[in-house]
Structure 1
Amino acid sequence: MPPYSSAPVRGVPAGSPGALSASAKRTIAGLSLWWPASPLAFVLSTVVGLSSRDRGPFWEVASAVLLWSGIGGVVVAPAVGLLIAFRLRQRPARRRFAIMGAVSLVVCALALLFWEFAMECAPGQAC
């Protein structure tokens, strides 16, 4: 009889690098979903912030929470996801988070460039 078994493999052993715990899968999925939801958080933050000036402090806090959630989704989600994917040796997740980080960097650079041009003085005005 050969030293190996011809029985089908039912799953990956728990100690191997390919095995992912359920919490790691949920974390990768959550970070992957947080990133595309961040523009919605920015838009909601703007809508709530503009309409909350005469409503009360609760809506100002809600606007701030949405704003920081959007910023976290753009900045924190790709960085933490990339670290987790490297640690767990997940090649598809690494690729996904690297692309997410590159897109986030481009969008942030364009937003800063737009902000710089928007803050420029009008002709004839002293700044």
Structure 2
Amino acid sequence: MPSSGSAPESRRGAGGSTGLVPARADRIITALSWWWASAPLLVFIPAIAYAMGLPDVRREVGWAFGLLALLTAALAPTAGLVAAQIGDRREARGRFLIMAAVSSVPILFFLLFGVLFPECPDGHHC
């Protein structure tokens, strides 16, 4: 006789689950959430290295950490939405939609100030 708390059941009900195994989906969603949360740390790693007396890190590979942070901010919510959809996790879908909205702000900031404005020649106001 199984008790009500002995084993987790699929959220799709008794008809069977066509998605990921529930525990695997939860682990993937958790990992993607933590991956997204690491993006701000990736931005500040070059500054932290500079403050610790390693100016070469900031000078030579600082751009790579910024690019990695932007990729993390874009890919983690996208992959999380896919995993939440496959795993049929409604709460996780909402969380990843919020993550995507929050991530869009620095991505748009980077595109606006990092790509569009530097194209103006010096001395000209675009």
Q: TM-score range by the shorter chain?
A: 0.5 to 0.7
Distance 1:113 1:66 in 2: 19
Match of 1:52 among 53, 56, 64: 56
User: Tell me, what secondary structure is at the counterpart of 2:22?
Assistant: coil
Distance 2:48 2:8 in 1: 48
Structure 2 unmatched ranges of 5 or more: none
Whose radius of gyration is greater, 1 or 2? Answer: 1
TM-aligned CA deviation for residue 8 of structure 1: 4.0
Q: How many residues align?
A: 114
Question: Is 2:49–2:55's contact at 8 Å kept on the other side of the alignment?
Answer: yes
Structure 1 unmatched ranges of 5 or more: 54-58
Q: Which residue of 2 aligns with 1:98?
A: 97
Match of 1:12 among 4, 8, 16: 8
Aligned residue identity for 2:81: L
Q: Which residue of 1 aligns with 2:108?
A: 109
TM-score, structure 1 normalization: 0.65
User: Tell me, what secondary structure is at the counterpart of 1:52?
Assistant: helix
- Spell out, residue by residue over 1:58-106, the C-alpha distance to the aligned partner (whole angstroms, 9 max, x if none): x946x46534431232011000011000000001110000111111112
RMSD over aligned Cα atoms? 3.6
Say which is worse superposed, 8-17 or 24-33, in terms of deviation.
8-17
Identify if the C-alpha distance between structure 1 residues 64 and 48 changes in structure 2 by more than 3 Å, giving closer, same or farther. Answer: farther
- Percent identity between matched residues is 29
